[in-house]
Structure 1
Amino acid sequence: MRQLTRSESVVRTAPSRGGRPVRAPRATPQVRRTKPVRTAPVADPAAASAASAARPGRAPRAPFMLLVIGLLCGGLVSLLLLNTVLAQDSYKVNELRSANDQLRQKKEELKNANMRLEMPGALSDSSAKQGQGPDWDEANVITDRSAGSRAASDGQTPAGQERVPGTGR
């Protein structure tokens, strides 16, 4: 087997992948290197703890996390309040619809009762209760006979019937 040089091992083509370059895995994993920490003698130990806690290159995470959590909680509470208000409105809508249905039924009942009271049988019963009755002595037919007019039924037979001679009908 032939030994590959470093440049050959880093980039080579694989025939099964259509000729794309492939990176060969390294034998040792890469370790993250950090800068050595320099310690300088400090006269005041309180100042040293404050200086190490400040870290000038990095912003503190706690206030940002509290802000994000506060915003999420505020959004959740406002969503719950909105949902509650909408639920109350839907209850009101249902109550108003049921009230409208009851009023519509009441209107139909009153309309039917009024129609029953206007029927001829009910009218004659109510007039009898009030002491009124039909006047059988004369028929009050309103006609204008002065200009030679006649009632619509004078001299006519009902439709579909013939006049019988000698009977007057």
Structure 2
Amino acid sequence: MRRTRPVRTVPGAGKAARAATAPAPSARQGRAPRAPFVLLVVGLLCGGLVSLLLLNTILAQDSFRANELRNGNNQLRQKKESLKHQNALMDTPEWLAKNAENQGQEPDWDKPNVITPDRPASGTASDGSADVSADSRAASDGQTPAGQERVPGTGR
């Protein structure tokens, strides 16, 4: 709303002086009021600010969730590695022997521990006699390892 300066009334001037200082009603009708436009702009700015705050909050929540999932994956990976390590330890001969002993099993000292591919694992022939042949010699008794030839004159 446009304010006009206060009108001073002069004692000698009557209605004619007041009529000359009053604004014409036709000039007021051509301008749109400013208050609704200002409220609209302020409302749009506030709405934009609130929507930006909500968007930022949602993105922050997603970031926290992604962080939690990443940490969970790391913990599961560490647990997997730990279980792999435990399984590898359970495959060692010491652990197997200890576990067998805890279950009441004892080693059979009557059977040989070494199995050679040349003879049966039992160490006896089919007739019950001991199976000792020339092929059961150790590799150091003149045999060459598989895939290698003797070199004449070197003793190897």
TM-score category of the 2 structures, normalised to the smaller one? 0.5 to 0.7
Gaps of 5+ in 1: 1-38, 41-47, 147-153, 165-169
Match of 2:98 in 1: 125
**Pairwise CA distance, 1:53:** 9.5
**Residue correspondences, number:** 108
Are 1:91 and 2:64 matched, yes or no?
yes
Q: CA RMSD in A?
A: 3.4
Q: C-alpha offsets along residues 122-161 of structure 1, whole Å, 9 cap, x if unaligned?
A: 101110111112222235728xx99xxxxxxx46753xx4
Choose from 49, 60, 81 the match for 2:33: 60
Mapped partners of 1:98, 1:85: distance in 2: 20
Match of 2:121 in 1: 141
Choose from 124, 142, 147 the match for 1:163: 142
Gaps of 5+ in 2: 1-18, 113-119, 127-134, 144-156
Q: Which amino acid aligns with 1:93?
A: A
Match of 1:24 in 2: none
Choose from 71, 75, 79 the match for 1:106: 79
**Pairwise CA distance, 1:56:** 2.0
User: TM-score, normalization: structure 2?
Assistant: 0.57
- CA change 1:116–1:64 in 2 (3 A) is same
Q: Identity, % of aligned pairs?
A: 58
Summarize the alignment of residues 46-57 of structure 1 with structure 2, pairs less than 5 Å apart: 52=25, 55-57=28-30
Mapped partners of 2:85, 2:26: distance in 1: 88
